[in-house]
Amino acid sequence: MNSRNLLKLADQFGAPLYVYDAEKITSQFQRLTNAFSGVNSLRLNYAAKALSNISVLRLMNSLGGGLDTVSVQEVKLGLMAGFKPESIIFTPNGVSLEEIEEASALGVQINIDNLSILEQFGSKHPDVPVCIRINPHVMAGGNSKISVGHIDSKFGISIHQIPHLLRIVELTKMNINGIHMHTGSDILDIDVFLYASEILFETAKNFKNLEFIDFGSGFKVPYKNGDIETNIEELGKKLGDRFNEFCKNYGKELTLAFEPGKFLVSEAGHFLAKVNVVKQTTSTVFASVDSGFNHLIRPMLYGSSHEIINLSNPKGKERYYSVVGYICETDTFGSNRRINEISEGDVLCFKNAGAYCFTMSSNYNSRYRPAEVLWHKGKAHLIRQRETFDDILRNQVDVKDLFETPKAAAIK
Ligand SMILES: *Cc1c(COP(=O)(O)O)cnc(C)c1O
């Protein structure tokens, strides 16, 4: 997937456009698999919320992955994409008992992250095996917006509540077949991750019928020059060895599970947008593209940095630009970026646009969501059509009879 291909796709399908490189997704999947080749049974459950297009889910299924879902709608998408129910894990947070029962009726693995629902579900369905999400209170990332293992986090059952948890399991006679943690979105320090894993192993000893231990995700990928990337080969070796040792002591071969989102799809994604206006002010040169945080909110939501390149003028002189959107809000994609000289009509590419980009898009300002294209074996496949005005109106109920139309004369 090179710049020339991308430019052609912007021409063919129009901008703004999301493009995903199937080969990159495949190689990331392989890389993670290889890193844990020392483990007998490995399961990679792709976190659907990162990029939930059904064609991308089909690709993941073809690679042999499972699916990590956070809503019953994602479960249904996964089933439509061909995943077997037993390859899907439902890991919601703060959802109703009804939604969990609905997912359970579809045959997927349930993962429960609070004692209240655990007790209710266990009392009603003691025969359904359940995974429990533990909060080891470890902050694996540096950014409190995305680290969910710390003490104030809403995710998981606190390790300090294990005695209460065990009482519920004993009283309901439910069967705990897996334990899970997901400490946050950035594993910067492998040792911190291994430390959290020890807490999970310690917890695991309390349950006799485990089938798997799920270590969540948080594999970091580089977004800009100098960014640290999780050393998954080292993690694979260290955690793999420790896992094998645990299984030996536990007396049973368990499955080691992960649920990567970003790692599998982030770098495979390219977001293409066209420059509408180049505006020179006294202090800054703005390049305004035909997009905004309605299509790519991560820079505004998390302060994430997506590298921006000018596909149309790759050899142009580098200048400083602030790349902004066309939404009536301050929607800055990047400030003072060195980019090859930009002219109106040029196509810019935002890198690392595979994870949490399209899935977080909206119709704000009554704009259309972009089209999505999957690039596979040198060919482009449209996997989502660009929206049209009908999509903006869909589900709106126009109560035109309620209000009188002002007479023409009244409007002065
Ligand atoms: C979002 C999420 C993931 C994926 O996280 P990434 O940082 O994208 O790899 C995994 N597990 C759970 C429970 C999640 O909510």
CATH number of 216's domain? 3.20.20.10
pLDDT band at 411 (very low <50, low <70, confident <90, very high): low
Q: What is the rounded distance in angstroms from the CA atom of residue 62 to the CA atom of residue 26? A: 10
In the reported structure, the alpha carbon of residue 184 is separated from the centroid of ligand 1 by a whole-number distance in angstroms of 8
State the distance from the centre of ligand 1 to the C-alpha of 208, rounded, in angstroms. 27
Q: Domain for residue 16, yes or no?
A: no
Do both 139 and 80 map to the same domain? yes
Cβ–Cβ < 8 Å for 100, 86: no
Mean pLDDT is lowest, of 92-101, 132-141, 168-177, 182-191, for 182-191
Range of the domain at 301: 269-391
What pLDDT is recorded for position 153? 73
Cite the active site residues.
Answer: 328
The predicted model gives 399-410 an average pLDDT of 82
Domain match, 307 and 254 both: no
229 & 313 share domain? no
Q: Which of 278, 283, 266, 285 is nearest to 358 (CA)?
A: 266
Ligand 1 binding pocket mutation candidate from 147, 217, 230 (most atoms within 8 A of CB): 217
Any alpha helices (H) in 15-161, and if so which ranges?
A: 22-35, 54-62, 72-80, 97-105, 115-124
User: Which of 265, 283, 312 is where one domain is finished?
Assistant: 265
**Residues 258 and 296 both lie in one domain:** no
pLDDT, tens digit, for every residue of 323-367?
999 999 888 999 999 999 999 999 999 999 999 999 999 999 999
Indicate the number of domains in the chain. Answer: 2
Tell me: the pLDDT tens digits for 48-71? 999 999 999 999 999 999 999 999
Q: Is residue 3 part of a domain?
A: no
Tens of pLDDT, residue by residue over 5-54, are 999 999 999 999 999 999 999 999 999 999 999 999 999 999 999 999 99
Same domain, 50 and 89: yes
In a domain? residue 372? yes
Q: Is 10 contained in some domain?
A: no
Q: Are residues 241 and 320 in the same domain?
A: no
Residue 11, in any domain of the structure? no
Identify the burial level of 225 via C-beta atoms within 10 angstroms of its C-beta, where 0-12 means exposed, 13-18 middle and 19 or more buried: exposed
Quick check: is 289 in a domain? yes
Is any ligand 1 atom within 6 A of the Cβ of residue 111? no
Pair (51, 120) in one structural domain: yes
Res 186: pLDDT: 64
Question: Do 305 and 372 fall within a single domain?
Answer: yes
Residue 50 shares a structural domain with residue 71: yes
The CA 360 to ligand 1 mean position distance, Å, reads: 14
Q: Which atom of ligand 1 is nearest to the CA of 185?
A: 7
Confidence of residue 146 (pLDDT cuts 50, 70, 90): very low
pLDDT of the residue at 221? 85
Higher pLDDT, 145 or 331: 331
Summarize the confidence of residues 131-145 as an average pLDDT.
72
Same domain, 206 and 58: yes
Contact 216 CB / ligand 1 (< 6 Å): yes
Highest mean pLDDT, choosing among 232-236, 275-279, 299-303? 275-279
Give the residue among 279, 288, 276, 258 at the shortest CA–CA distance from 42.
258
190 and 51 part of one domain: yes
pLDDT at residue 175, as a whole number: 97
Identify the band that residue 145 occupies on the pLDDT scale cut at 50, 70 and 90.
very low
* The pLDDT of residue 410: 60
| Average pLDDT of the chain, as a whole number | 93
> Do 374 and 321 share a domain, yes or no?
yes
Arithmetic mean of pLDDT, 121-148? 78
Q: Evaluate if residue 197 carries a pLDDT over 50.
A: yes
Q: Are 157 and 189 in contact (CB under 8 A)?
A: no
The predicted pLDDT at position 408 comes to 74
Give me the count of residues in the chain.
Answer: 412
Tell whether 305 is covered by a domain.
yes
pLDDT score of 78 more than 90: yes
For the entire predicted model, the pTM comes to 0.93
Report which ligand 1 atom has the smallest distance to the Cα of 259. Answer: 10
Whether residue 276 lies inside any domain: the answer is: yes
